[in-house]
Amino acid sequence: MSLFGLGSRNQKTFRPQKSAPSGSKGAQLQNHINASLGSGNLREAVRLPPGEDIYEWLAVNTVDFFNQVNILYGTLTEFCTQSSCPKMTAGSKYKYLWADGVTVKRPIEVSAPKYVDYLMDWIEVQLDDESIFPQKLGAPFPPNFQDVVKTIFKRLFRVYAHIYHSHFQKIVSLKEEAHLNTCFKHFVLFTWEFRLIDEAELAPLYDLVESILQL
């Protein structure tokens, strides 16, 4: 998707980018996203295109937002370290523990970079699993697809919350705050449109979220 003018000097990819699922249909929807983002109307960009399948739309956008957060966090990997961020927090009130329910069943406390690394690994496994994110046009999505997507978005929000609370001054010094704010606005409008994150989860950035929704 469009990087909203992110300077090439800061396009550090945390890990390889993912391409849109669902073959040619995914490509069509990706083109629609790019075109509508290019218009500058983010509220319009997040809406389900007429006649399209909501699961296809959620799938393509999930990949897109994964890539967005991947690039944003990639600009901070040298600043978000085990020593600077020994816990995954969003300010003094909120701390996130890691569990994936498979290899880590009991939540554990890890550093912020380790949390994000675990998270991106976990999301990649979901995106690569064709029983969850089918690549072929017309292949069925699983009954719990929306729940998987909600968990992915809930956890991606935590990366935004950590960036804003722990690294915003560094973002400002890199002159990338406009890009961060635009990406987060896009993320918030999409999650709000499809009710993907419970309001309680938004608490660490609630004032910012509220200001975006009132624009």
- Is the pLDDT confidence value at 19 over 80? no
Phi-psi sector, 94: left (phi>0), alpha (psi -120 to 50), beta: beta
Summarize pLDDT for 54-99 with one digit per residue, the tens.
999 999 999 999 999 999 999 999 999 999 999 999 999 999 999 9
Name all contacts of 201-207 with Cβ < 8 Å and 24+ positions apart.
Answer: 201/154, 201/157, 202/157, 203/94, 204/90, 204/91, 204/93, 204/94, 204/161, 204/164, 204/165, 205/90, 205/157, 205/160, 205/161, 205/164
Question: Which of 115, 184, 122 lies closest to 148, judged by CA?
Answer: 122
pLDDT of residue 2: 37
pLDDT higher at 60 or 31: 60
Q: Which pTM was predicted?
A: 0.88
Sorted by sequence, the CB contacts under 8 Å of residue 172 that are 6+ apart come out as none
At 13, the pLDDT band (50, 70, 90 cuts) reads low
pLDDT higher at 173 or 22: 173
- Is the pLDDT confidence value at 7 over 80? no
User: Of the ranges 27-36, 41-50, 63-72, 164-173, which one carries the lowest mean pLDDT score?
Assistant: 27-36
- Is the pLDDT confidence value at 39 over 80? no
Domain ranges within the chain, ordered by starting residue: 10-82+117-213
10-82+117-213: CATH, from 1.10.760.10, 1.10.1040.10, 3.40.50.11540, 1.20.140.30: 1.20.140.30
Handedness of CA 186, 189, 195, 200 (dihedral sign): positive
CB 158 within 8 A of CB 88: yes
* Mean pLDDT, residues 9-19 taken together: 59
pLDDT of residue 9: 39
Amino acid at residue number 83: S
